[in-house]
Chain A
Amino acid sequence: MPEANQPTRAEQNTPSEVPPPGHIDGPFDSRSIDLGRIESLQVLDEHGQVEDGLDPKYDDETLLKVHRAMVLTRAFDARMLAMQRQGQMGTFAPNLGQEACMIGQVWSLGPDDWFAPSYRSFGAQIWRGWSMEHLMRLWAGYHSGFPPPDGVKDLPFSIVIGSHVLPSVGLAMAMRRAQDAHCAVVNFGDGAFSQGSVSEALNFAAVEQAPIVFVCENNGWAISTPIDKQSGNDVLATRGLGFGVRSLRVDGNDILAMMMATQEACRRAREGQGPTLIEAVTYRMSLHTTADDPSVYRDESLVDAWKNRCPIARFETYLANRNLLSSEQADQVRAACEQEVLDARTQFRETAVAEPRQIFDHLYAEMPDELEEQRLEYLRRLDRKGVK
């Protein structure tokens, strides 16, 4: 027992100027609890018309660059699907219909901000500096395809759902400690939100005011599981509020809304105003992966309704109304993007090489002796088999 007049341990550790946590001494507070509001954001309605007074008025160059990136994303996705069907590509997750989410979440990031993609983030990765040829190598199963390109601050994605979200918060917390005024964006799906680790990530981010933006692409599906079976409350943004994270729900098929929301969230993060959760409401128009057949579990008329909400068509109406892009010019962009994708495919076909000898590289910072022995034995094995 400590002597009566000696401070207890807890008291010793609490400097006197820091007041004790409120609820310990005070009476039970019986006021109703206000967690705040879920803001929702839509700038372009389904017909491409701007909601009153909301136009962010981005400059022409930015708008056209973003438009092209969305078109390129779609062209790449379509080509990948064709290649997969022809047996030239491995299993991958198509992105159709999620182009505004993809580009919107990364467009305001600089090279020193971090991005943690999911397996459905092609468009965002291309924007961040992955060449399409590199992504083809990745999904076709070349060893050199997996690591991010040099200098691109993207995490390798994890196939284990949700497992990259906590490390992303850790990374953001480290940036804050280092007084590095950049931020991180982490992307995950509606299904991933059911993993406990994602809730833990939100909690830490709030407690630590980590400079991170959580982008949950709520595309309505996790393989065949619809959102109403995934969550008892399908407004996923509300979860952020419960943890004390500023949260908003954005029309994920509205590129202007996505751009505004993420730009503001990243700015706040960089300025030390803490994390934001953006629930981007969108729809998985295509397959879960190329190994999936959605016709067995969903009515395709559901998809038709979303065709009218196409993020690219909507944006093109806006651009046309601003006299920035005629339909002929839009066609030219499409043709140019298609050509760019085909060029990437040619380059992929000509340069991708199997690299069987690199398998032990980078497992440790320094190769341990016993592993080096194993590596040499492995190489002898390849030699015996005549593998180049």
Chain B
Amino acid sequence: MTREIHFRDALREAMSDEMRRDERVFLIGEEVAEYDGAYKVSKGMLEEFGPRRIIDTPISETGFAGLGIGAAMMGLRPIVEFMSWSFSLVCADQILNNAPKMLYMSGGQFGCPIVFRGNDGAGGQLGSTHSWCVESLYANVPGMKIIIPSNPYDAKGLLTSAIQADDPVFCLESERMLSMAGDVPEESYTIPIGKAHIVRPGTDCTIVSFGRAVHFCMEAVETLAKEGIDCEVIDGRSIKPLDIDTIVASVRKTNRCVVVDQSWSFASVGSEVAAEVHRMCFDDLDNHVYRVHSDDVPAPYAWNLEQEMLPNAHKICQAVRGVTYTA
């Protein structure tokens, strides 16, 4: 049975379903238990699963990320919540050095089946230190997977896959989307990590995006349709592994490509997509790949500037007009 629920509920259903199914799974983080999560994602979970499995922590990201990694090595399946991925920078050593390398450094003896999840990207006036998009920064590191759901349905399916995965998975959510409603089946299901989704078919230009930015693309596509430009929108769903095959197949059809990525442009997910498309679709392209990113400044605190700095429909329309020579 499918019904409409919010993004945060979809995340919670994935966690609760897996906790019911697998007693090795637990949730740990700041404010996740008594407070129901800083963003109410874990609402009611303490009541159902008790304090041994829904664990509040001191404000020590290094502490609870590191503990989670140790627990995972012992065969448990921790879900570590960061209030914001911005705060994961405090424990970069744990999540980038220990989690993704444990299996490798132990010669395959013990791995790290752990999920780190939390809000990524600008939350709406949280200031530069609290508005990080970590995807490009972290995607550079081998040994872990990164999922970035853009809607409640994907959130539940992708997070379920992540909890079941034997490798570390980083799940990037967005505070701006937690109250977004969408149709989600009641029963448990998985969406494979590393498979993109064509959100809207089109013929003139492929737009590739991830997470919250997919919605900026959908907004832009409406405007572009009125101008007679018919775009195909691909939601990557996962960043690592990247489903380049779906992207390439689309670009071979449309012959144009725009990548929309909330990170800064330099050495980013967007530049990776562009490089691969140039390599694999060299003879199919009518123009080079256009990229839309955040401007190269720390996220401003002022509302008007924050909007202007992020990828937005205006920037995306400009890029599509450019790549289709209709500017």
Which A residues have a C-beta under 8 Å from some C-beta of B?
Answer: 90-91, 141-143, 145-146, 158-163, 191-192, 194-197, 222-225, 229-231, 296-297, 354-356, 359-360, 363, 371, 374, 378, 381-382, 385, 387
Say yes or no: B295 contacts A230, CB within 8 Å: no
With A91-B125, A224-B34, A371-B296 already in contact, the answer to whether A160 and B63 are too (CB < 8 A) is no
Say yes or no: A194 contacts B58, CB within 8 Å: yes
Residue from the list A145, A195, A385 in contact with B59, Cβ < 8 A: A195
B300 contacts partner chain A, Cβ-Cβ < 8 Å? yes
Say yes or no: A143 contacts B305, CB within 8 Å: yes
Say yes or no: B59 contacts A374, CB within 8 Å: no
Closest to A223 in B: B31
B30 contacts partner chain A, Cβ-Cβ < 8 Å? yes
Contacts of A371 in B (CB 8 A): 296
Contacts of A381 in B (CB 8 A): 308, 314-315, 318
Say yes or no: A354 contacts B35, CB within 8 Å: no
Contacts of A162 in B (CB 8 A): 59, 90
A-B contact list, 13 entries, CB within 8 Å: A143-B305, A145-B301, A159-B129, A160-B90, A161-B87, A191-B59, A224-B35, A225-B56, A225-B59, A297-B35, A356-B305, A359-B295, A374-B295
A143 to chain B, nearest CB (A): 4
B38 to chain A, nearest CB (A): 7
Closest 7 CB pairs of A and B: A194-B58, A224-B35, A159-B130, A191-B59, A143-B302, A194-B60, A194-B59
Number of A-B contacts (CB under 8 A): 102
Say yes or no: A159 contacts B60, CB within 8 Å: no
Contacts of A160 in B (CB 8 A): 86-87, 89-90, 129-130
Say yes or no: B301 contacts A143, CB within 8 Å: yes
A288 to chain B, nearest CB (A): 10
Say yes or no: B60 contacts A225, CB within 8 Å: no
B229 contacts partner chain A, Cβ-Cβ < 8 Å? no
Closest to A368 in B: B296
Given contacts A194-B60, A354-B302, A359-B295, 14 further A-B contacts (CB under 8 A): A142-B302, A143-B305, A162-B59, A194-B58, A196-B60, A196-B63, A223-B38, A225-B31, A231-B58, A355-B302, A356-B305, A360-B297, A363-B297, A385-B314
Contacts of B31 in A (CB 8 A): 223-225
B50-91, CB under 8 A of A: which get 1 and which 0?
000000101111110000000000000000000000110110
Which of A225, A231, A371, A387 has the most C-beta atoms of chain B within 10 angstroms of its own C-beta? A225
Say yes or no: B35 contacts A146, CB within 8 Å: no
Say yes or no: B35 contacts A359, CB within 8 Å: no
Closest to B86 in A: A160
Say yes or no: B295 contacts A143, CB within 8 Å: no
B244 contacts partner chain A, Cβ-Cβ < 8 Å? no
Closest to A370 in B: B296
Say yes or no: B35 contacts A222, CB within 8 Å: no
Say yes or no: A225 contacts B30, CB within 8 Å: yes
B126 to chain A, nearest CB (A): 7
- Complex Cα spacing A142 to B125, Å: 10
- Complex Cα spacing A262 to B276, Å: 60
- Complex Cα spacing A140 to B11, Å: 32
Say yes or no: A196 contacts B62, CB within 8 Å: yes
Closest to B309 in A: A359
B249 to chain A, nearest CB (A): 32
- Complex Cα spacing A160 to B82, Å: 12
With A160-B86, A374-B295 already in contact, the answer to whether A359 and B305 are too (CB < 8 A) is yes
B303 contacts partner chain A, Cβ-Cβ < 8 Å? yes
Contacts of A146 in B (CB 8 A): 127, 301
Which residues of B247-278 are within 8 A (CB) of A?
none
B2 contacts partner chain A, Cβ-Cβ < 8 Å? no
B304 contacts partner chain A, Cβ-Cβ < 8 Å? yes
Which residues of B287-327 are within 8 A (CB) of A?
295-298, 300-305, 308-309, 314-315, 318
Say yes or no: B56 contacts A229, CB within 8 Å: yes
Which of B127, B295, B302, B314 has the most C-beta atoms of chain A within 10 angstroms of its own C-beta? B302
Say yes or no: A159 contacts B296, CB within 8 Å: no
- Complex Cα spacing A339 to B30, Å: 40
Contacts of B305 in A (CB 8 A): 143, 356, 359
Say yes or no: B129 contacts A143, CB within 8 Å: no
Closest to A192 in B: B59
- Complex Cα spacing A91 to B127, Å: 11
Contacts of B63 in A (CB 8 A): 194, 196
Contacts of A359 in B (CB 8 A): 295, 297, 300, 305, 308-309
Closest to B126 in A: A159
Closest to B62 in A: A196
With A194-B58, A359-B309 already in contact, the answer to whether A141 and B38 are too (CB < 8 A) is no
